[in-house]
Amino acid sequence: MSDLKKIKDNFFSKLNQNLGLSEINQIKSDLFGKNGLISSQFKKIGSINESERKKFASELNILKDELQDLIDSKINDIKKDEINRKLEKEKIDVTLPERSFVRGKIHPVSQTIDEISAIFSEIGFSIEEGPDIENEYNNFTALNTPDNHPARDMHDTFYLDKKKEKLLRTHTSPVQIRTMLKDNPPFKIIAPGRTYRSDSDQTHSPMFHQVEGLHIDKNINMGDLKGCLNYFIKEFFEVEKIKMRFRPSHFPFTEPSAEVDIGYEIKDGKIVIGEGDKWLEILGCGMVHPKVLKNVNVDPLKYQGYAFGIGIDRLAMLKYGINDLRSFFECDYRWLSHFGFDPLDVPTNYRGLSR
Ligand code: PHE
């Protein structure tokens, strides 16, 4: 029997066994690899005498094609089988009930922070953040509230160590200090975030939210403060007119200091902002004390400005008609799905508090 016939019989019977892909690939290289059987037969052609050469070459070519075709069809069969097996396994049962789908909601406090941030960004304020765990210096001393100052007692501070060096910030005002220490004036920032005081009843929660504002430049005065707050409150409550009054007050870090009330009335059981003769306190503010500016290496003879601290939760309660502050933090999913906001309503220009 000729060599070619032997190869053909041998490999046809091999290939017709039930082979896997790797075994077929092995046969392919045994035949057609660099030193494969078929390749070696091709190399022989030159040494065959002329009378037989043509016949041998044509038989060899035919054998090569037959083997190649057989190999290709075997590989194809295996791949087809594999696809069919997968299709069989991954059949979708369209009669199954759908999985339940829960859509998250934005908490009213987060929504309010986003709205406040968007309003102040439009008038040139950038957003700063500070840590919830502060040192005593940034929270009090640098803000002209030295040890034994009576204002310290008013804050019901959560201290974190016996030496009273670390604490949960009682207001967002330490972000003023952090901002002014790391940069040079002018400053025009707001700083929303969590604040803490040991206090709990229907209108106080041990954790609450404030947004600090700070604008320091040459020639900034109380009129700028009034204009800025007036603009903010109108934008926030989406009203044309607002009644606002500045009441003299005291904060160690501002001089003069004021608390701001807005006028409102109750109509059909709902709060209407900007009308009526009732007053509601919403923020503390004032001109930044020269001592505070000196503490952060800003020359008070060259630069002055104002600061304010707004209670965010209170604004959210007013705008969205929520009457118990504690409900904000009870994590009741039904409450959230009622008072929460659709994620798509969030303004995109605020990068959000790290939550
Ligand atoms: N930090 C003050 C508070 O928590 C509010 C405030 C901020 C007052 C900035 C004046 C200026 O009550």
Q: What's the 341 CA to ligand 1 centre distance in angstroms?
A: 29
* Cis preceding-peptide flag for 347 (omega within 30 of 0): no
Q: What is the CATH number of the domain that holds 218?
A: 3.30.930.10
Between CA 311 and CA 227 the distance in angstroms is 19
* Domain presence at residue 353: no
124 and 258 inside one domain: yes
Range picked from 36-45, 231-240, 318-327 for highest mean pLDDT: 231-240
Q: What is the pLDDT of residue 2?
A: 77
* Domain presence at residue 349: no
Residue whose CA is at the smallest distance from ligand 1 atom 7: 309
* Domain presence at residue 172: yes
Q: What's the 189 CA to ligand 1 centre distance in angstroms?
A: 15
Nearest atom of ligand 1 to the alpha carbon of 143: 1
C-alpha closest to that of 215 among 120, 315, 318: 120
Residues framing ligand 1 (Cβ under 6 A): 171, 173, 251, 254, 284-286, 307-309
The best mutation among 209, 251, 308, 313 to test binding of ligand 1, ranked by most ligand atoms within 8 Å of the C-beta, falls on: 251
Residue whose CA is at the smallest distance from ligand 1 atom 12: 284
77 and 174 inside one domain: no
200 and 335 inside one domain: yes
Query: If you average pLDDT over every residue of the chain, what do you get?
Result: 90
Instruction: Reply yes or no on whether the pLDDT at 353 is more than 70.
Output: no
85 and 174 inside one domain: no
Q: What's the 236 CA to ligand 1 centre distance in angstroms?
A: 20
Percent of the chain scored above 90 by pLDDT? 58
The best mutation among 145, 154, 173 to test binding of ligand 1, ranked by most ligand atoms within 8 Å of the C-beta, falls on: 173
Q: How many CB atoms lie within 10 A of CB 172?
A: 26
Minimum mean pLDDT among 4-18, 150-164, 195-209: which range? 150-164
333 and 261 inside one domain: yes
* Domain presence at residue 8: yes
82 and 114 inside one domain: no
* Domain presence at residue 348: no
The total domain count for the chain is 2
47 and 153 inside one domain: no
* Domain presence at residue 97: no
79 and 183 inside one domain: no
133 and 58 inside one domain: no
- Domain interval for residue 13: 2-89
Q: What is the pLDDT of residues 117-146, one digit of tens each?
A: 999 999 999 999 999 999 999 999 999 998
Q: What is the pLDDT of residues 53-91, one digit of tens each?
A: 888 889 999 999 999 999 999 999 999 999 999 888 888
Q: What is the pLDDT of residue 1?
A: 60
* Domain presence at residue 12: yes
Residue whose CA is at the smallest distance from ligand 1 atom 4: 171
Residue whose CA is at the smallest distance from ligand 1 atom 5: 309
Q: What's the 320 CA to ligand 1 centre distance in angstroms?
A: 24
182 and 281 inside one domain: yes
Q: What's the 321 CA to ligand 1 centre distance in angstroms?
A: 25
Comparing 151 with 241, the larger pLDDT belongs to 241
Asked if 115 and 347 count as a contact pair (C-beta separation under 8 A), the reply is yes
Which phi and psi angles does 208 have, rounded to 5°?
A: -145, -175
Residue ending a domain, among 55, 89, 123, is: 89
C-alpha closest to that of 317 among 220, 205, 225: 205
Q: What is the pLDDT of residue 41?
A: 87
280 and 150 inside one domain: yes
**pLDDT band, residue 295 (cuts 50/70/90):** very high
129 and 33 inside one domain: no
Comparing 122 with 148, the larger pLDDT belongs to 122
* Domain presence at residue 99: no
Residue whose CA is at the smallest distance from ligand 1 atom 9: 308
Helix (H) or strand (E) holding 255: strand 254-267
Q: What is the pLDDT of residue 88?
A: 86
Between CA 83 and CA 91 the distance in angstroms is 12
Decide the pairing of beta strands 187-196 and 166-168: unpaired
* CB-based burial label for 293 (10 Å; 0-12, 13-18, 19+): buried
Between CA 193 and CA 35 the distance in angstroms is 75
Q: What's the 213 CA to ligand 1 centre distance in angstroms?
A: 9
**pLDDT band, residue 355 (cuts 50/70/90):** very low
* Distances from the Cα of 349 to the Cα of 110, 120, 191, 314, angstroms: 14, 11, 15, 23
Asked if 308 and 225 count as a contact pair (C-beta separation under 8 A), the reply is yes
Is the entire prediction scored with pTM above 0.95? no
Q: What is the pLDDT of residues 205-244, one digit of tens each?
A: 899 999 999 999 999 999 999 999 999 999 999 999 889 9
The best mutation among 215, 253, 255 to test binding of ligand 1, ranked by most ligand atoms within 8 Å of the C-beta, falls on: 253
The best mutation among 171, 281, 314 to test binding of ligand 1, ranked by most ligand atoms within 8 Å of the C-beta, falls on: 171
**Would you state the structure tokens that stand for residue 310, as one six-digit string?**
């707004």
Comparing 331 with 293, the larger pLDDT belongs to 293
